[in-house]
Each structure stands twice: as C-alpha cells, then as structure tokens.
A and B are shown apart, each in its own frame.
Chain A
C-alpha cells in the first residue's frame, strides 16, 4: 500500500472584510468615449457612412450613370421622387398588398399549427406539407396563380400567403413542441385546456420561436412581393416598388432604379428595427427568454 499523502499543516485565520469606501473602485462610470463606442447604432452609422463615401468615390471615378450612378445622384433622385409623392405611393401600394398576404398567411399558419398540436393527423399533415412546400420558392407558383386567379392582386396575395405561411407554421410548431413538460403540467394543474391552454401557455412559451418565424416570414414576403411585381407589376393595378424599378430600368433612368432599391432596403430596415426590434424588447428580452 502507498503511504498516505502528506498534508502541510498551517494555522487558521479569520479576517474582517475591508470597508467599501476603502477599496479603490467598486463602481465607476465609463468615460464618454467608452459610452459612445458602446452604442451599436453609432458604430453601424459609421460603417454606413464609410460605405456611402466608397460608393460616391467609385461612382465619380467611373463617371457612367448608366452603370453606377453616384450616391449623391441616387439620393437626389430618391428625394425628388419622395417629394412628388411617387415613391411613397408606390411603396404604400406594395406594403398594402404585402400586409394582406402576411395577415392571411399568419392566420392560416396558426390554424395549421393548432391543428397539428391537437391531433396526430394534423401533425403529420403539417410536417409533410412544410417539408414539401417550404423549399418551393413562392415566385415559382406565380405562373400557376396567374392561370387560377388571373392578373392582379389576388395572384400576388396567393404567392405571398405561400411565402409567409410555411416558415411561420414551421417555427411556431417547433416552438410549441419545445415547450417544457413542466410548463405543460403547470397549465393542466390550474385547469387550462383547449384554446385557453394554447393561448395562455403554449403561445407565450413558444413566443421566441413564433417571433423569429414572423421575422423570416416578413423577409420572405417582402422579397417575393418585389420579385412578383418585377415580373408583372402593371397588372396589379397602379403598380408597386418592383414595378417602379422595372419601369425606370426601361427608360434607362438608373438613378431612379437605385432609388427604388434604396426604398426596398429602407422599408426592410425600418420594419426590422422599429417593429420587430421593439416587439422583441417588449417581450422575449423583458422575459429573459431570448436564446
């Protein structure tokens, strides 16, 4: 047998804690520069400015507005068309159609998911349909939609619904499935069943997934809409942003094409940073549920 390991003997001691005001720094405010640099918006603003300067410099060097108009002329064209009300009008036309498609898609997705969590056959149906249809680009359905629904908004709304519904349903469903067994048992303990159980336990508990589904759905819908308008914008009546881009390309007004693209980016950014960011802060961040 090995010998017992030796332990060095040391005396015990007891100390009083040092008083707070005797310790140098316990809490110290950051310097102004540290706080400014800590602001994400400011850092991103700097990057944007740098990109705009780069664009302006390259555009001036190229000196060919048919290929790449400068940042300045794009902004100018954008401002002119905003003032005349042309761009806001087109944007509103697009957004209006988008909201209709988004709302219908959302309601259908919720209905599908609720069916999927309440019945096994509903679950199989949703899994099969999402597996089959989610990879199918919505725009590929446009020719069919044109035959079924004719030229016009119904066709665009049809493809939008398709673009929105599957990602939202997929995310919501996986969110529902990930709700912990403990929370489910708590809900049943207090007598929640059926739709009250879905509304009071499942939806809030799955909210992080639902929110990311809503975000993905929004992005898909926005892209699909612009693409659909590019393909057959006029037929949807007054025409939206996609049609605006297409039209100006035909008249070789390239700064206006860039202004149109600019608006698409701007609306995307606004929705992302105003609506979704705020929704996230008011819900999942406040609840400590963000992953």
Chain B
C-alpha cells in the first residue's frame, strides 16, 4: 500500500523551550512518518506541544533529542521546501496586495522570477477563487479570504509539505466549515502533502486521512488513527471515530491549572 520511502520522518523528537521562569518540555520522544499526499493531522488538547512540533518541522526550533528528516535530509533551518500557513491573519504582508503577497514567496525565495512567477501566482490565486481580489490589500479582505491568500501563497511554492498551524481556528464556524471543504477540494486537485495541527476533533476527522493523537504535558504519542472523513463507526468497538478520539484524549483527567498556554 504505502510507498516504501516516507516523505517526512520524525524520530524520537523531544522539544524544549524556555519561558522566563521555566524550561518547558513540549514533546517527549514523538515518532511519526508522513507519506506523500498524506493529510496528516496532529491532534491534541492545548499543552500537547503540537504547534511546537510543527515549528520544529518548519525548522524554527531544534530538537534536544531525536531527528526530523525530510526526504532523508536533516531539517536544520526554515526553508522553502516546508511552507508554513499560520493561524494569525497578520501572516500576510499588509503592504502588499493579494497578488504581491503570493508573488513575494516565489520571488524572495528565488523559486521563480518574472512572468513565470506571475503566471504561477495567478494560477494559485484562481485555485482559491480570489482572482477578482488580486489587487486588493489584505486589510480589505475578510478573515476567510486572508487565510485563502495564505494558503495560495504556500501552495504556489509547491513545497514538499505544507505545514498548517490551526489555520482556521480564528474563523467563525460557518467560514471554518467552508474552508475545510475548500482545502479538501484543493487537495483532490493537486494531491499536495499536508501536516495539519488542530485541537478540534471534528476538524481532524474531516481533514485528515491519518490522525496522530498527542497527550499533554509533555506531548506524547497516544495513538495514530486512520480517517476517511466520514466519522464512521469502528468495526471492532462499534464507536464513531470522534468518540474513540474523545475517549482517548479525555480518559485521563486533564490538569486544570494549565499555566503554559501553548498549543
């Protein structure tokens, strides 16, 4: 079934970061593998280090233990082969129009230049249905549109893997639902590989084909499950996928005093 060579290998990764008062262990010996065209979801409650893990894959953070390899090569710094899409709307450069924002990625990284860059940028803006807004500045767009621009900018880079850090978390529920459908449609269109972080069980079930569950404080792998997007009942247990996930994540009492507010 699966190709022999995984695209991304995360092996025994322990991540730590410093706050003003503490040295926090965000994840402890996390292992997983992402294959080409996976929609791989990192799911867990706040404090399970999923965002930190994504930043480490992005190359913003070095593991204190273990290794992260993309196509066999060690990840040491941010690079254009792993493009991040963030939750925050301010990830777009406010001084550039929609088209210039998408172009910015291509030009700054030296991926393409001139008319080729322009053509690729416009093609991806069309994919996210924003052709009519190509010359609009980000502050005139709605939250959902801003996230679509960010996704177009990431996809235009045609990276090995698109890293998405709760990209729809700041949207209202209706827009969020619409954006999830759009992301799936884009995936069917191009088959790109996604590593998607969320704390929403329904979102994980809809978006992912493979879901990694992380338990909090520090983040440890709890399970890795398959999803077909339909939230079907499991043959063995007769439970829906979302209920199984809920059971696994919340079977242990979660400590109430979550002093470190970190996804």
**A interface vs B, CB < 8 Å?**
180, 182-183, 185-192, 196, 200-201, 204-205, 207, 283, 286-289
Contacts and interface: CB of A to CB of B under 8 A. Distances in A.
15 contacts: A185-B84, A186-B91, A187-B108, A188-B77, A188-B78, A189-B58, A189-B78, A189-B84, A190-B109, A200-B108, A201-B93, A205-B93, A283-B95, A287-B139, A288-B139
Given A183-B91, A191-B108, 11 more contacts: A182-B91, A185-B58, A185-B86, A186-B86, A189-B78, A190-B108, A191-B110, A201-B93, A205-B94, A286-B137, A288-B139
**Chain A interface SS verdict (over half):** helix
B237 to A, nearest CB: 35
A286 B252 CA distance: 51
B60 interface: yes
A207 B104 CA distance: 18
B140 interface: yes
Contacts of B110: 191
A186 B80 CA distance: 10
Contacts, number: 67
Contacts of B157: 190
B138 interface: yes
Most buried by A among B58, B108, B157: B108
B79 interface: yes
Contacts of A192: 108
A31 to B, nearest CB: 28
Interface of B: 55, 58, 60, 77-80, 82-84, 86, 88, 90-91, 93-95, 104-105, 108-110, 137-140, 157
A191 B138 contact: no
B83 A189 contact: yes
Closest 9 pairs (CB-CB, A-B): A288-B139, A190-B108, A190-B109, A182-B88, A188-B78, A191-B109, A204-B95, A287-B95, A287-B94
A183 B60 contact: no
Nearest to B140: A288
A200 B82 CA distance: 20
Given A283-B95, A288-B139, A288-B140, A189 B80 contact: yes
Among B79, B95, B137, find the residue whose CB has the most chain A CB atoms closer than 10 A: B95
Given A182-B90, A287-B95, A188 B60 contact: yes
Given A180-B88, A191-B109, A288 B94 contact: yes
Contacts of B93: 183, 186, 201, 204-205
Nearest to A289: B94
Given A188-B60, A289-B95, A183 B83 contact: no
B84 A180 contact: no
A287 B140 CA distance: 9
A190 B55 CA distance: 14
B136 to A, nearest CB: 11
